[in-house]
Every structure is written in C-alpha cells, then in structure tokens.
Structure 1
Amino acid sequence: MRRSLFAVPALACVLVLGSCSGEGGTPRPDPTATTATTSSTPTSSHARPRDVTLDGRKPCDLLTPAQLTSFSIDRPGQPLDVPTLKATGCAWTVNGASNLIVPVTADGIEVWTEGNHVGKPADIDPIAGFRAVTLTTTLNPNRCDVLVDTAAGQYLAAGFSLVTDKPENFPEPCDRARRLAEAAMQNLLK
C-alpha cells in the first residue's frame, strides 16, 4: 500500500520538472526526446492578454473554500517547498490523490517548452486567454501538470497525481490539473 506522505515529496519531485535527478534537481535530458524550438518571448499566438504577476502570492490561498469543496478536498493545503523551482507551492493530498499549485517566479514557462526534458510539454487550449502547456512523463502516467504563462519570467503550475491503485475512481490527471489551473487563474484575475 502506498502512503500519502510519500506522495507529496514525489509530486514535488516530478511536478513541472518532469525530472528529478541526483544533480540537485537539475532537469535530465531525455535522449529520445526531440528538441522543441520556440521563442523565449511570446509570439502572437502565445501573447498574454495581460501580465498577472505571482510575486508574493500565497499558494494555499489560490483556491477558495468553495473551489476546494468542488474538488472534494476537505482539508487545508500544506505549504510545500519546491527548491528545484525556487518556489513554494501548496499541496492537498486526499483519498489517494495529490493536488498541487505552485506560483513560480524564478523562471518563465519557456524553461519547459524549449529543449530536452523528461517531461513532455504540449500546448493545450489557453486558460483565461493565457498560454497553457501540459507536462506529462512516462515515469508516472497517473500524473499531469498544467503550466500557465502568467507574466514574463513567471508561470502558474498546477499538478494532479494519483497515489492509489484504483485510478478508475478519479478524473484523468490532465483534466484535473487543468481544472485546478483554471480555478487558480479565476482567482488571480480578480
């Protein structure tokens, strides 16, 4: 049986990183991955409707009590240091699933959309008009991260991971990660 206490550190390791290595969390290149080439500044198809800076945001306050209830989360989030991202996130681990929100202010979304990483980025429909990318990894098919390009050099990461042997009892990881990101963006835009 897996313990939920293991889930949060594992989630932090894989979240948005798509990798954790013995090199202080430095992303590991995937020799089978193809290199994506994109610009570090938003192109017209990736232009933000406006900047939403994440500096000073408290991650556990990015979801309202009503939103938490809608996700069947019945307990407060726990702050989680994510040194690889130079950020603090908030984790809610309940009933075999881990939910995570991390406002990242040390790097922009392009750190994941350019180059080789274990995590596979894929552009998805924008969230509230902002570019969004999913990150998945073959290391854990029961997890997904959604990244939202909120401002130059900043992004919001939302992750969902199953830590149960019954994934059929839960939403698809990328669907839940997107819903988490949408809910947090709704509050950030107020």
Structure 2
Amino acid sequence: MNRTFKVALAAGAATVALAACTNSSTDGTPTPATNGVASQTKSSSTTSGKPSNGDDLNISRFADKPCDLIKPDQLTALGNFRPGESSSAPLGPGCSWFGVDALKDTTFFVTLVTKGDNLESMAENAKSFPIFKRTTIAGREAYSADRTDGKASCSTAVSTSAKDAIFVQGRPPANGTGTADKSCQASEKVAAIVIGNLKG
C-alpha cells in the first residue's frame, strides 16, 4: 500500500474517533462526524437504550484483542488485507484491516462501542445523513449510514446490548466505481461476520 495513502487513511480513522466524542453545540445535542460516520456523544436522552431482551452479546471479551473479531479464513474470503492493526479510540477498542492494494482492495475498520454509546445514540446522530437506513443484521437491530453519497464509505452499527454495540466502516477500493448499495452491503457483510463470531 502506498505509504502516503495509508497514513492519510489512518488519519481519517483517527478523525472519526475524535469526532465521536466532540459536541460543538451548547445544548447537549450530539453532532455528526465529518466523514460519514455518526458521532456519538454521551447524552442521557439517547444513551439509555432499549431494555435488554436477554440476548445480549458479551463484547468485552474481545476488548484486548479486537483483531480476533474476524477469523483469518473469513478475512481471506473477504479480500486481500494486511495484518490487522489494533487501536484504542474514543468509542472503544478496534481493529483496522487495510487492503493490500489501496486501488483494488477494500479497507475495514471495526470498533467495539464500549464507552457509553449504543445503537440508539449513534442512530440519532446519523439519521439526518443522506444515506441512512434502519436494518437488521443477524437478527439484531442495526443501521447503515454515510454523510456523503455512500460511494466512498459506508458505516454499519449493530446493537449488542442496551449499553453497547459494534461499529463497522468499509471503504471500497480507491479506483473503484462504488455505489452506496455496494458500500453498505460490504460493511453489513462484515458486521454480520463479527456478530456471528460474538455469538460463538
């Protein structure tokens, strides 16, 4: 991967994480991130979530090993990736899988949302985006969104309990002719894999 592109992509992911904890308004209203990913601010009106229905998933067991959220054979089936790079962001621990060739391969970021936000608080911030749809992933409540046209990126969040969630961002190849449907299908596919692995 071109080193300059990789640095820029990593910086973009860092911007996502920073925006997730930024609230520029003064009335407690969460504000969206700048690149298509919903920002998540801790607001008592949106982070309480729905009551647990008894099918909570334990995401804390992957907190210190987020790159284990996707198995090697699953990554191979998804495409060509460099080794996963774990990181800690304002939303929680995560892993980045950069495509081997930025011009041909998709890149994915997966985050365990463990620091106070949940599906509803994230959806509240993303619902005004041009690309936003409620859906279900592996039988769980979810949404997919992008602040622009969805061609260069799409993010999918899936509820794992009333208190937390997983968050997947997919970025198609740089020289691709992506569409919002294709981008969101990619992030939703990865989200389904992660949920399946969390279920064991």
Please give the TM-score of this superposition, normalised by the length of structure 1. 0.75
CA drift at 1:98:
1.8
* Residues 155/98 of structure 1: CA separation in 2 closer, same or farther (3 Å cut): same
For structure 2, list consecutive stretches of 5 or more residues without a partner in the other structure.
24-29, 34-44
* Residues 167/5 of structure 1: CA separation in 2 closer, same or farther (3 Å cut): farther
CA drift at 1:11:
3.1
Calculate the aligned-residue CA RMSD, in Å: 3.3
The alignment status of 1:152 with 2:152, answered yes or no, reads no
Paired residue for 1:42?
Answer: 50
Judging by fraction of residues, say which structure has more strand: 1
Paired residue for 2:110?
Answer: 101
Q: How many residues align?
A: 172
Structure 2 residue corresponding to 1:122, chosen from 133, 142, 150: 133
Paired residue for 1:82?
Answer: 89
* Residues 75/29 of structure 1: CA separation in 2 closer, same or farther (3 Å cut): closer
Amino acid in structure 2 at the alignment position of 1:109 = L
Paired residue for 1:135?
Answer: 145
* Residues 4/52 of structure 1: CA separation in 2 closer, same or farther (3 Å cut): same
Deviations 1:39-88 (A, max 9, x none): 95338xxx7560002113121000001100011134310012222x1x12
* Residues 61/138 of structure 1: CA separation in 2 closer, same or farther (3 Å cut): same
Structure 1 distance, partners of 2:170, 2:126, is: 22
Judging by fraction of residues, say which structure has more helix: 2
Whose relative contact order is higher, 1 or 2, with alpha carbons under 8 Å and at least 6 apart?
A: 1
Paired residue for 2:60?
Answer: 55
* Residues 13/121 of structure 1: CA separation in 2 closer, same or farther (3 Å cut): farther
CA drift at 1:162:
3.2
For structure 1, list consecutive stretches of 5 or more residues without a partner in the other structure.
31-36
* Residues 129/49 of structure 1: CA separation in 2 closer, same or farther (3 Å cut): farther
CA drift at 1:151:
0.8
Q: Higher mean Cα deviation, 173-182 or 134-143?
A: 134-143
Please give the TM-score of this superposition, normalised by the length of structure 2. 0.71
